[in-house]
Amino acid sequence: MTTAKPKVLATRHFPPDVEARLAANFEAVLNPGDRLYDGPALIAATAGCDAILCAAGDPLTADTIGGLPASVRMIATFSVGYEHVDVAAAAKRGIAVSNTPDVLTDATADITLLCLLGAARRAHEGAHMLRTRSWTGWTPTQLMGVHVTGKRLGILGMGRIGQAVADRARAFRMQIHYSNRNRLPPDLEKGAIFHADAEAMLPHCDFLSINAPMSAATRKWVNAERIAKLPQGAIVVNTARGGVVDDEALIDALRSGRLAAAGLDVFEGEPKIHPDYHDIPNAFLIPHMGSATVETRNAMGFKALDNLETYLLRNQTPPDLVKAS
């Protein structure tokens, strides 16, 4: 007699290799049209399911989790961040939650440098000039940007991604400043200058890279008061979470010239970003591409599946279990 496979709802259309492995080991409920679930639809779709394979942005709020059928035992998110999952509400229901740490460090650090360079060297304006056929040829003062090599880079959040950003920035001979909950040991600090007070770091930042997780403490951390502490003409880069930036304050600083530019991969309320960003030429914008490589997205999916298989097939603790705080 064969034993039925655990049933897993995939809330999004995941990479083909990930879905193939999911279907091989579980009874998979896939979403080939990649339609977005709201809370009631998600509750309805999980009927008879043992687990949910979700992604950033899925509405796994306390209300949604409270309405899930009793059969659901696990939520595995296809992301490092898990602010879209109410972990405390899941814990009350006895539902395990897992994430995918360590697999997107390099891809996100790479995109951080893309945003930094794109903003500094006015890449959006140059590309727009070419694509609109408005380039009339080289001139001595055309699209003069900001030099990167040898400048000071401040990093808010010196975890794995922040450290990887620092490693890449050292190739540009940038002086690294950072603020973190704890100072790194010398072998990881690698000569970077630690600031216990993040605000005290700001005057030393020709470039500020946001690599801190989203939390109550970091929400809208980049606001008008902190922007005012940056050097005139500084550049802000955010590849962490959109909510760390106060959009109105950043937009005002870009328009006024207080900041030379910004490079953004993440946005509050995405995909409905603040409409004023569309019209600001000194904002280098890309659509949440930090982990968007074949290798990284597969690694994220396989890590999520490792957690699901460990818990549902082997009855063991998931290796990337998220604990309620």
Classify the C-alpha dihedral 234-151-116-203 as positive or negative: negative
| Catalytic (active site) residue 121 | no
Nearest CA among 94, 56, 23 for reference residue 305: 23
Report the alpha-carbon distance of residue 142 to residue 126 in Å, rounded. 9
> Residue 139: which residues within 8 A CB-CB, separation 6 or more?
none
| Catalytic (active site) residue 195 | no
Task: Give the torsion through C-alpha atoms of 46, 77, 17, 38, to 10 deg.
Answer: 50
Report the alpha-carbon distance of residue 237 to residue 290 in Å, rounded. 12
Nearest CA among 21, 45, 25, 24 for reference residue 33: 45
Report the alpha-carbon distance of residue 305 to residue 299 in Å, rounded. 10
Q: Is 153 within 8 Å of 177 (Cβ atoms)? A: yes
Q: Which of 122, 177, 195, 241 is catalytic?
A: 241
Report the alpha-carbon distance of residue 91 to residue 316 in Å, rounded. 17
| Catalytic (active site) residue 152 | no
Directed axis angle between helix 105-120 and helix 123-131, to 10°? 70
Q: Which of 121, 177, 226, 288 is catalytic?
A: 288
Nearest CA among 242, 187, 233, 239 for reference residue 211: 239
Encoded tokens for 320 = 């990337």
Q: Which of 270, 278, 297, 314 is catalytic?
A: 270
Residues acting as catalytic residues? 241, 270, 288
